[in-house]
Structure 1
């Protein structure tokens, strides 16, 4: 099974991993510098606000936990109070404060009790509102991207009708034009430089595609952690470790490194961990809750995965086409011809995604190009590796599933 086809199984990762707590961010309102013309404007603003809420409320909650710890009747809660102060999780602090307030005798006229509870309720409501707004924004962006891809399938880029170039067609054309090799200045491309420029063009969008998937998983997991699930009491460490591992992958800046981190985990741990988790009752509970969260949110991780591969493939070939020399294609050198031919094969397949032969021709040509970059030790061969891997999950069956989803979106 191709490693890329494992990506939907990332929904099982919460059962298996860990990572250090992310450092606190020093955020001030004056530091907000957001571009309203970019699609992530809402997300960036909401995340900044969430971080600000965390940063401003955590010291206040810790101070109140200290006050509760100095009350003699709370002596039996010393360990829990210490743990709550040490954790960055606001929800754990809030829960313990409410617990201690509930066991304390109070009068209806006890204003401190009423005010603290009121503020805790407000804090939970605020955090829930910000989280819901962030999820809504992510969903809107995802739907916009899927809708755009569906339009690409309905109205694919015009096919120029250029047939694939080979030595025979070049020779025949030059003979017909009565040109000699000495008179022709062939247009060439450096494969390493082409790869470097192509990677530079797609790396940000490629990382964003992976992050979008990881954010879905993180949101699902956070919902489970924030919920009151007694059957998961013994799984806290596993859940925390998964959140931490997801944060490490999300924090990775370089696209190729990010992709390698995700897939290296899957390749190294998934099979063993899956066998282990089947024997663990708590893991079965986590899986059950994950599936419920997916159903509640109406998410289909596999469909999102298919769209993600097609989106990345189409993005790369859009820039690929722009980077080909503008001179007549018959004058391309061997490298330029190989890159041109591959672009033509992709366009031919995209115009007829039900044709298995066209997909095979494109996939085989991409494999040969990747093998060439490996054999030549090209420094920038990783972009061709990324493209080759993505193409393994974009075939005729895949496009039928994508088209079915597009029909649902109409």
Structure 2
């Protein structure tokens, strides 16, 4: 809930926001987050103008002549806390008359801005957490539905079932050889359907890390002063990934950062006591927020896998004449194999049958240089992290959520 201080700044700026930004959809899942981000951006802009204006006033005071460099750096930086710290420092070193209330008002307003920033960040964290829990609950409900309505395994498409189906349709093999399913077009339509939701899944994960780093950077943690450059670099990398629009490119940047830069940092700093302390602080922040990144990662992969297959099923052609087409048969079979595994996630053989079929399809799109092969690569990578052991952990977490 937004407290009174946030409500106060909502009244006037909202009129301006309505005319300068696109109207937010009240039914959108990210309405709260988008609203809070717009408000946060406005607060940062207004606060920075006020802080820089007061820094200019301090700079014009002859008593602060020795702080010209510090004042210039504080005005140039985008770090809110750096500006606040210098203002407090210069106010503390000046004697004040008992009747002069300006320093008191300045300090009071700095406290207000700090409280407002904390309130906004806490509200964004709460909204993110709410969305994440709703998504996890939706995924967990599927296991309850499976127990109530056991899945009847259908036979996979083979020559026998094809022959019988075509006989009923009074079709011959020669009549259907001229038609076929375009794998490239199927991949393009599938990617178009899942790209926005897929990007949201990644962004939700990145926002957890960003919020945590922001808390540490802006917090009063002097023992991490030596790691400030590393933290700022991590924050810039996260911002770059969040700003990436294309879903596949976003995923590639995330994996590249995790696999290359983080592993390099680990090799360079694994023996450093400062690095160990930074890692412990990050983990402590996560624990304090009640977050388990590994569990969230598992759920994210399952969520993406299920998202793709829901649209996959909708895109499969319903015309029986396509049953002779090799591509259509491969796509039908893969959908069946996923549904079979999903109904019995503890069966290693069913998982292996699904993942192997998916791997073969991915290899085929690579060998044929399909233009829209990226969606199959994304799906194949997600499936590697969704096996029988993974689902056991997901189910255990679902029991905790109930």
- Counting only pairs closer than 5 Å after superposition, residues 84-99 of structure 1 correspond to structure 2 as 84-99=74-89
Equivalent position of 1:12 in the other structure: none
Equivalent position of 2:189 in the other structure: 197
Number of equivalences: 384
Deviations 1:380-400 (A, max 9, x none): 001000000000000000000
Q: Is the 8 A contact 2:227 2:274 kept in 1?
A: yes
Deviations 1:291-334 (A, max 9, x none): 11011111000000000000000000000000001223873511
Deviations 1:359-391 (A, max 9, x none): 000000000000100111100001000000000
Aligned: 1:292 with 2:281: no
> Match for 1:275 among 244, 264, 267?
267
Cα distance in 2 between the residues matched to 1:112 and 1:128: 24
Aligned: 1:383 with 2:375: yes
Deviations 1:131-163 (A, max 9, x none): 111110000000000000101222249846431
Q: Is the 8 A contact 1:249 1:261 kept in 2?
A: yes
Q: 1:332 to 1:161 in 2, by over 3 A?
A: farther
SS of the aligned residue for 1:377 comes to: coil
Aligned: 1:50 with 2:40: yes
Q: Is the 8 A contact 1:170 1:330 kept in 2?
A: no
Q: Is the 8 A contact 2:151 2:340 kept in 1?
A: yes
Cα distance in 2 between the residues matched to 1:178 and 1:94: 80
Identify the range of structure 1 (231-240 vs 157-166) with the bigger mean alpha-carbon deviation: 157-166
How large is the Cα RMSD of the aligned pairs?
2.0
Q: 1:282 to 1:265 in 2, by over 3 A?
A: same
Q: 1:177 to 1:318 in 2, by over 3 A?
A: closer
Cα distance in 1 between the residues matched to 2:222 and 2:61: 29
> Match for 2:124 among 120, 125, 134?
134
Cα distance in 1 between the residues matched to 2:143 and 2:324: 29
Aligned: 1:68 with 2:58: yes
SS of the aligned residue for 2:385 comes to: coil
> Match for 1:31 among 20, 24, 34?
20
Identify the range of structure 1 (111-120 vs 386-395) with the bigger mean alpha-carbon deviation: 111-120
- Counting only pairs closer than 5 Å after superposition, residues 4-403 of structure 1 correspond to structure 2 as 28-32=17-21, 33-156=23-146, 159=151, 161-171=153-163, 173-174=165-166, 180-182=172-174, 188-328=180-320, 331-403=323-395
**Shift in Å, 1:173:** 4.9
**Shift in Å, 1:82:** 1.4
Equivalent position of 1:10 in the other structure: none
Cα distance in 1 between the residues matched to 2:272 and 2:387: 37
Deviations 1:6-42 (A, max 9, x none): xxxxxxxxxxxxxxxxxxxxx8442241000001000
Identify the range of structure 1 (164-173 vs 370-379) with the bigger mean alpha-carbon deviation: 164-173
**Shift in Å, 1:75:** 2.6
Cα distance in 2 between the residues matched to 1:106 and 1:29: 43
**Shift in Å, 1:46:** 0.4
Cα distance in 2 between the residues matched to 1:176 and 1:76: 93
Q: Is the 8 A contact 2:187 2:376 kept in 1?
A: yes
**Shift in Å, 1:283:** 1.8
SS of the aligned residue for 1:245 comes to: helix
Q: 1:331 to 1:66 in 2, by over 3 A?
A: same
Identify the range of structure 1 (251-260 vs 274-283) with the bigger mean alpha-carbon deviation: 274-283
* Larger relative contact order (Cα-Cα within 8 Å, sequence gap ≥ 6): 1
Cα distance in 2 between the residues matched to 1:337 and 1:158: 25
Q: 1:191 to 1:160 in 2, by over 3 A?
A: farther
Question: TM-score, normalized by length of structure 2?
Answer: 0.91
Question: TM-score, normalized by length of structure 1?
Answer: 0.89
SS of the aligned residue for 1:155 comes to: helix
Gaps of 5+ in 2: 1-15
Q: 1:179 to 1:233 in 2, by over 3 A?
A: closer
Cα distance in 2 between the residues matched to 1:88 and 1:332: 62
Gaps of 5+ in 1: 1-26
